[in-house]
Amino acid sequence: MAAAAPRFRFAPSPTGSFHVGGARAALHNWALARRLGGTFVLRIEDTDEARNRPEWVDGIIEALAWIGISADDPHFEGPLFQSAYSGAHVAAAERLFAEGRAYYCDMTGEQVQERARELGVSGYDGHSRERGLGPGPGRVLRFQAPDEGTTVVRDLVRGDVSFDNSTIEDFVLLRGNGTPVFLLANVVDDIEMRITDVVRGEEHLPNTPKQQMLWEALGHVPPRWAHAPVLVNEQRKKLSKRRDKVALEQYREEGYLADAMVNYLMTLGWTPPGAQDGSEIASWAEIEAAFRVEDVTHSPAFFDIKKLNAFNGEYIRRMPLPDFVERAAAELPDDWDRDRFAAIAPHVQQRLVTMRDVPALVDFLFWPEGAVPGAGFDYDDPSWAKSMGPEWAAPLLDDVLGAYAAVDGWHADELKAALEAVMARYEIKLGKAQAPVRVAATGRSVGPPLFESLEVLGRDETLRRLTIARQRLAGDDGEPVRGASAGSGESAGSGDSAGSGESAGNGESAGNGESAGNGESAGSGESAGANPAGDGVSPPSDRTAPD
């Protein structure tokens, strides 16, 4: 008789944002369910009224879809709602009471603490076990845990973990108001949903012996357990919503690719095949085919954004060009010409960390008519002095102006040849000679390859900008002429102010060393006011680890 298909579950509680740690847990369950031909059950733990909003459930489903866990997949089941099972929770509790496995107690939390202090014990001492209390307002139902022996949790990632039953107190099943507590609800749900494998975060390991007792007391065989290590921050503390950037949605908005995020998340605590002596980049298909919980590491993993960045850049570079152009377009202000961007796209694709860095790399192509760069551009920075400083800068600019006005075609190779012809007279190298031209034409000291950029810019606009720069140079450091300062921004006027420009202090990313981009140009419609960042809308509690 073939073993029944395994049933996994992912049980997040709805909050305003989706935790990366949760994403990893979901991915683990998903990979297993798919590889083993089982089912991934999504259960929404919505019992806490206070934190329950319908749109949050959509958020969970969307976040899952983003990382490839599609509700349309045949292996996907749900969403199911814990609240729909409240009847079963209470029924289970009553059954445990009827069978003498649980009893009522009228002590308040304070009283329990006080008594523990007097007796010198650590927790609840079983005070009401023999008092024969029945249900009533304010009375909690407690599970009568065994006093002796040990409970062994067979964990797929850690092996057998044993707990001394004497250290497990008679825990609460039903609150004073009759509602079930997490421990009970969770187990009953799993039983009801015929879950066979519980794969979750290590923070749940201490709860596991209690849950296992419940499974057995309720007459069922406990599931296979697997507790993956937690994700931690640089302080080696569990990633917390309060202090760390954990919202999956935020990474998505900042221009991280789902594939990169998924790949990276899976490398925390596990090594994809072939990574032992090569790249850790692996497709989901490869990951899914090879992932086994038994191979998951035992120790906590630091969620390292630097490494995530490396993965993301790698994935961006690997995108087919048309895909890249399409995806990048989403980061551009509406009034930026798509064809013009497409012309330079191949050169920006290999210079990115996140998709959000795109606008700042090409903004010079979209200055409004007659504009000259202003605040936020190197044009107005020390970079100007550095590029224009040499005494040969002015004459060279004059010569380039002349050469470019006369150049036959207007293609990168011709523009390069023309500049090389000019610079030969000054006995300088291309690396130096291009600097003043670059700053003059693009407003930045770094960016996509110069001649390709100029080709896209066009002859008229290039000459115009070189002329203006030349005049400024002559005017001895006078104020820059500002037709419309701040580049494209102001005139963009397409309503999408947004300002991706800020591009999150990516100073080190794609260039523009000094300034982190122009605050107001380059708005990426998407990011607009949204920026949920989780924190704002969700309860500050860290105790929301999906279970």
Q: CA–CA separation, 537 vs 532, rounded Å?
A: 7
Count Cβ atoms below 10 Å from residue 340 Cβ, excluding itself.
15
Between 471 and 541, name the residue whose CB sits nearer to RNA.
541
Q: Under a CB-based contact definition with an 8 Å cutoff, are residues 220 and 191 in contact?
A: yes
Instruction: Supply φ then ψ for residue 163, to 5 degrees.
Output: -120, 135
**Residue 508 Cβ vs RNA, minimum distance, rounded to whole Å:** 7
Total Cβ atoms within 10 A of residue 410: 16
CB of 72 to RNA, least distance (A): 26
Instruction: Between 309 and 518, name the residue whose CB sits nearer to RNA.
Output: 309
Alpha-carbon distance values, 438 to 71, 119, 480 (Å):
50, 79, 16
Q: How many helices (H) and strands (E) does the chain have?
A: 20, 12
By beta-carbon proximity to RNA, the closer residue of 439 and 468 is 439
Active site residue 386: no
CB nearer to RNA: give 107 or 484: 107
Pick 221 or 276: Cβ nearer RNA: 276
- Smallest separation (angstroms) from RNA to the CB of 538: 13
| Whole-number Å distance between alpha carbons of 431 and 472 | 23
Supply the minimum distance, in Å, between the C-beta of residue 69 and RNA: 19
Task: Provide the token pair at 304.
Answer: 């390292």
Contacts for 504 with CB less than 8 Å, ≥ 6 apart: 254, 356, 516
Catalytic, out of 210, 237, 238, 241: 241
Q: Pick the closer one to RNA by CB: 190 or 496.
A: 190
Which one-letter amino acid corresponds to residue 130?
E
Q: Which is nearer to RNA, 381 or 496 (CB)?
A: 381
Q: Which is nearer to RNA, 498 or 522 (CB)?
A: 522
Are β-strands 159-164 and 150-155 bridged in parallel, bridged antiparallel, or unpaired? antiparallel
- Minimum distance from residue 291 beta carbon to RNA (Å): 12
| Residue 222 backbone dihedrals phi, psi, to 5 degrees | -60, 155
Which contiguous run of DSSP H or E holds residue 339? helix 338-349
In sequence order, which residues have a C-beta less than 8 Å from that of residue 255 and are 6 or more positions away?
A: 312, 331, 354, 355, 356, 357, 358
Cα gap 151→46, rounded to integer Å? 30
> Shortest distance, CB of residue 65 to RNA, whole angstroms?
22
User: How far, in Å, CA of 93 to CA of 143, rounded?
Assistant: 9
For 174, the enclosing helix (H) or strand (E) is strand 172-174
We find the least distance from the C-beta atom of residue 133 to RNA, in angstroms, to be 12
DSSP 195-224: --EEEEEGGGGGGHHHHHHHHHHTT----E
**Least distance (Å) between residue 206 CB and RNA:** 3
For residue 476, the one-letter residue type is D
Q: Is 296 helix (H, G, I), strand (E, B) or coil?
A: coil
CA nearest neighbour of 80 among 193, 198, 191: 193
Q: Which residues are catalytic?
A: 241
